Amino acid sequence: GAVVSQHPSWVICKSGTSVKIECRSLDFQATTMFWYRQFPKQSLMLMATSNEGSKATYEQGVEKDKFLINHASLTLSTLTVTSAHPEDSSFYICSAQNNEQFFGPGTRLTVL
Amino acid sequence: AQSVTQLGSHVSVSEGALVLLRCNYSSSVPPYLFWYVQYPNQGLQLLLKYTSAATLVKGINGFEAEFKKSETSFHLTKPSAHMRDAAEYFCAVSYSSGTYKYIFGTGTRLKVLA
């Protein structure tokens, strides 16, 4: 139980385009999901807390207009990287809260 | 503010040797503590967690960790390393704030030598 999936697992896009990443809790409902960013050989940095039915809470320094988060249902949160640039290339990991956090397998974004 | 410190960004051990990965936290309230393992290009897998029950916590794959309040530590150990243990290990702390946000340490890359 407590499985979290992410789609896609990897994506390559051109600079200036937008990319949407989905995070789903497969066997439980999650009112709260989290989005993290991980640069190579570094730790996970929390980007935002996604709350079902309300606006996401962004960490300091994270641009909310660039990283759009939507948590429209209890099993799905999406992160859209708008007008992506090469510096947005990273490994994005989501987690869903069910007493503790359960992590997705991550999405590798490469912006050319 | 809460923080987590992992001493040693890289640790190398011989196969069969003891594994010790260090984690110290700073907290004014009793925290929840976690150890995760990450293999390349994968998400995080929970090894074990401390949630104010027993101070010695046993996890998967033969790992265990001991919560020592006096030392504000939660070091991860395994008596005998296997090649498959080579990975990145993260210590994390959380506290009750309604959303249980996690703070991660910087990670320790474990290398197991044949």
Q: Using one digit for the tens of pLDDT, what is the confidence trace for A77-95?
A: 999 999 999 999 999 999 9
Tokens of A42: 């570094």
Contact A100 B106 (CB under 8 A): no
Q: pLDDT averaged over chain A?
A: 93
Judged against a pLDDT cut of 80, whether residue A44 lies above it is answered with: yes
Contact B42 A44 (CB under 8 A): no
Q: What is the pLDDT of residues B45-89, one digit of tens each?
A: 999 999 877 889 999 999 999 999 889 999 999 999 999 999 999
Residue B99 binned pLDDT confidence (cut-offs 50, 70, 90): low
Judged against a pLDDT cut of 90, whether residue A53 lies above it is answered with: no
CB A97 within 8 A of CB A31: yes
Contact B43 A106 (CB under 8 A): yes
Residue B97 binned pLDDT confidence (cut-offs 50, 70, 90): low
Spacing of C-alpha B21 from chain mean position: 7
Helix/strand/coil for A45? strand
Q: What is the mean pLDDT of residues A24-33?
A: 92
Judged against a pLDDT cut of 80, whether residue B27 lies above it is answered with: no
Q: Which residues of B touch A95 (CB under 8 A)?
A: 102
CA-based end-to-end distance of chain B: 41
- Minimum-distance CB partner of A43 among B42, B94, B106: B106
Judged against a pLDDT cut of 60, whether residue B98 lies above it is answered with: no
B51, B104, B109: best to mutate for the A interface, most A CBs within 10 A: B104
Q: pLDDT averaged over chain B?
A: 90
Q: What is the pLDDT of residues A7-16, one digit of tens each?
A: 999 999 999 9
Q: What is the mean pLDDT of residues B20-46?
A: 88
Longest dimension (CA), chain A: 38
**Dist. CA A6–CA B75, nearest whole Å:** 31
Judged against a pLDDT cut of 80, whether residue A97 lies above it is answered with: yes
For chain B, give the percent of residues with pLDDT over 70.
Answer: 93
Longest dimension (CA), chain B: 45
